[in-house]
């Protein structure tokens, strides 16, 4: 008998939100920066929690760029988000 994954529902919601964040990035190019910062911050924390280290690392890099006044390179984050499995 397989034990159900206690994080499955939360992981599914993360994947739904990540898909929405990806769609937002495609639609807006990541502007305004304040919104991108908020989204990147959430992705950086939750990505690692649910085992998506590439998302977490790429989002943290975007967050660092914005906080340090640099233009954020969104390509690694977009690539990581595109590589996520679909939400169930």
**H or E segment and range at residue 68:** none
pTM of this structure: 0.92
Is it the case that residue 1 has pLDDT exceeding 80?
Answer: no
Is it the case that residue 88 has pLDDT exceeding 90?
Answer: no
Number of H helices, E strands in the chain: 4, 0
What token pair was written down for 49?
A: 């929690």
- Contacts by 58-67, CB closer than 8 A, 24 or more apart: 62/30, 62/36, 63/37, 66/33, 66/36, 66/37, 66/40, 67/37
pLDDT single digits (tens) 14-48: 999 999 999 999 999 999 999 999 999 999 999 99
Residues in the chain: 88
Give pLDDT, residue 2: 82
């Amino acid at each position: 008998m397989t034990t159900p994954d206690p994080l499955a529902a939360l992981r599914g919601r993360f994947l739904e939100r990540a898909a929405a964040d990806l769609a937002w990035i495609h639609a807006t190019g990541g502007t305004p920066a304040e919104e991108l910062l908020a989204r990147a911050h959430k992705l950086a924390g939750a990505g690692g929690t649910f085992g998506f280290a590439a998302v977490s690392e790429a989002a943290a890099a975007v967050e660092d760029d914005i906080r340090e006044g640099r233009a954020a390179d969104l390509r690694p984050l977009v690539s990581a988000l595109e590589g996520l499995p679909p939400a169930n």
